[in-house]
Amino acid sequence: MDYPFWDISVGYGLLMAIVAVVHVFVSHFAIGGGLYLVVAESFARRNSDTLKLNFLKKLSKFFVLVTLVFGALTGVAIWFIIGLLNPAATEALIHHFVWAWASEWCFFLIEILAAIIYLYGWDKMTPRNHLVVGWIYFGAAWMSLFIINGILSFMLTPGDWLTTGSFFDGFFNDTFWSSLVLRTGVCVMLAGLYSTLVISLYPRSDFKASTVRYNAAWGLIGMAIILPSLWWYWQGIPGAVTTTAIEMMPTPLDAWSFAWRFGMALMIAFLLFGLVMRRHVSLGVAVVMMALGLAWFGSFEWFRESIRKPFVIYDYMYGNGLALAMADNYREDGLLPYIVFRTGDDGADLLRHACRRCHTIDGYHPLKPAFDGTDEIFIAGIIKGAHALKGNMPPFLGIENEAAMIAGHLYNRVDHGPLKAMYALEGAELGHKVYDIRCGKCHEFYGYNDKSESLLGLDPEEINDILDMAEDFAEEMPPFTGDDAERQALIEYLQFMTEQAESKTP
Ligand code: HEC
Ligand code: HEC
């Protein structure tokens, strides 16, 4: 909380995802494309294949334009965005890996210079020197991946670094090698995709057909590296992390299954259009394949980002930028004394630092719908019990009074009034709504932290007593503060649901 909070109503997670996915898509191509160019050039030179050499010349123009201009722009954009979104995490990464970043920037400089020399050297250099420059380009580009990969994989699996603080423990962490192999596969696969895009613009010919097949081979080899290393990557993530995800985190699991499905679809597309129907690769087909590749890579990166929750650096810093090591201080002194830049509205400042990095009021991951028709006591209860909600959120690190201040701030921004009037519902339907809002975020029937067994066979009177004793069951559980109609409707719904659950279990 040493930095001011960049308060805009856009969802930060979404903003980050868009910039990051575009950047990784380009930056991995920058590596795979380099390899593709030198390997294909070596073969073409050996066979004096002028058609191929002309194609490669054209491809390298497209390549340098995309990677240097677009890659560098989105790379700067990433720094811009992470610095604004999570300055504390960015600071931690720079601080612990300063020499890694410095080396990465040197490799990047070599990469840029070599790319420019390669592009302008086609007709001016001897074939041998031209190829040497190409290999230098690829080597430097891959080394920059090697380094960034150490830092990215560290964020999910910092491992021994947490206790030793050693640079190499953090860098060569449990997902370093699987992630490096996986990303190298991605580079190779993307080379196949981009070069397919360029060749798709050519008129139908034998040359086009054979190049399409050649490109598909790159795509397939890339996928053959990617799919097993996806599995290897999963194995490297500590069991506790994946188990928690399976129990309570729908997002990373969805992302993971999307990654497999898009991966398979891409594999089939490469087989179909690269081998069977290779004379039919039009711009449209190439663009669809590109979109599949983007969707695949997007899902993987989304998985990697979301499975880390509630942390931004696992077991070290929460997603809202609060360091684990400071947790006891925050719980003791509250957050306010540690917020350096204060606006005068304490409720707003607290909300920003505790929740706003992941939530908006009514945009991306909105808080308003969760709290419409409720009250300050309930909102404060959810804030204090945030870590018990499905989805794996960070715990609230502050004092009682601060939770109440956030609740007050939120309460002023949600709709007031009984749920019955707000949603025009009656009876069990109203009860369902009350359940979704007041209980369902922590207890799912047939799912996360199911409580139907505890409620089974209870009469309305007994369920009523349970609602009165909410606070005695768990510190995290807010008291029931709905009105009488909501209480009766909830009791009716709970009875109905537990009977259902009973009749389904033999
Ligand atoms: C590290 C990011 C992060 C932080 C910090 C965070 N949340 Fe969340 N929260 C989420 C995500 C992501 C979800 C959605 C869970 C899902 O569907 O996977 C969520 C879900 C919720 C929900 C349930 C929403 C619904 O409609 O089901 C509520 C309520 C909520 N958060 C409140 C808060 C409050 C209050 C704070 C601050 C004390 C907070 N969160 C801090 C990420 C965060
Ligand atoms: C912020 C999260 C949260 C909310 C909201 C919440 N609970 Fe709970 N509830 C818990 C936790 C945590 C426990 C105790 C630990 C456990 O058993 O998992 C618990 C325990 C219970 C139990 C205990 C049973 C037993 O076996 O001892 C019942 C019944 C229950 N909740 C019902 C409800 C109902 C009904 C609502 C809505 C009115 C509700 N809860 C809202 C978090 C919550």
pLDDT per residue as tens digits for the range 66-103: 888 888 889 899 999 999 989 999 999 999 999 999 99
* CB of 444 sitting under 6 A from ligand 2: no
Strand partners, 360: 366
Per-residue model confidence (pLDDT) at position 505: 63
Q: Can you tell me the distance from the alpha carbon of 155 to that of 140, in angstroms, rounded to the nearest whole number? A: 23
Handedness of CA 307, 308, 311, 315 (dihedral sign): positive
Q: Hey, which of 377, 432, 451, 453 would you mutate to test ligand 2's pocket, going by the most ligand atoms within 8 Å of its Cβ?
A: 451
At which residue do the structure tokens 């299954």 appear?
A: 257
CA distance linking residue 106 with residue 152, whole number of Å: 18
Ligand nearest to the CA of 462: 2
Q: Ligand 2 centroid to 477 CA: how many Å?
A: 6
C-alpha 358 – ligand 1 centre gap (Å): 7
Instruction: Please tell me if the CB atom of residue 388 comes closer than 6 angstroms to any atom of ligand 2.
Output: yes
Instruction: Indicate which ligand has the atom closest to the C-alpha of 86.
Output: 1
**pLDDT recorded at residue 344:** 94
Alpha-helix residue ranges (DSSP H) falling in 249-375:
250-271, 283-307, 327-333, 346-351, 368-371
Per the CB < 8 A criterion, the answer to whether 277 and 209 are in contact is no
Ligand 2: which atom is nearest the Cα of residue 439? Answer: 37
pTM above 0.85, yes or no: yes
Compute the distance from residue 433 Cα to the ligand 2 centre, in Å.
17
Residue 68: the pLDDT is 86
- Which residue numbers in the chain have pLDDT < 50? none
114 lines ligand 2 (CB under 6 A): no
Would you state the pLDDT for residue 506? Answer: 57
Ligand 2 atom closest to 494 (CA): 35
The whole-angstrom separation of Cα 253 and Cα 21 is 19
Ligand 1 lining (C-beta closer than 6 Å): 250-251, 309-310, 319-320, 354-355, 357-359, 365, 367, 369-370, 382-383, 386, 389, 391, 393-394, 396, 441
Q: Are 354 and 382 in contact (CB under 8 A)?
A: no
- Provide the pLDDT for residue 363: 86
Q: Is the dihedral of CA 43, 45, 49, 54 positive or negative?
A: positive
What spacing in Å lies between the alpha carbon of 248 and ligand 2's midpoint?
15
State residue 320's pLDDT score: 93
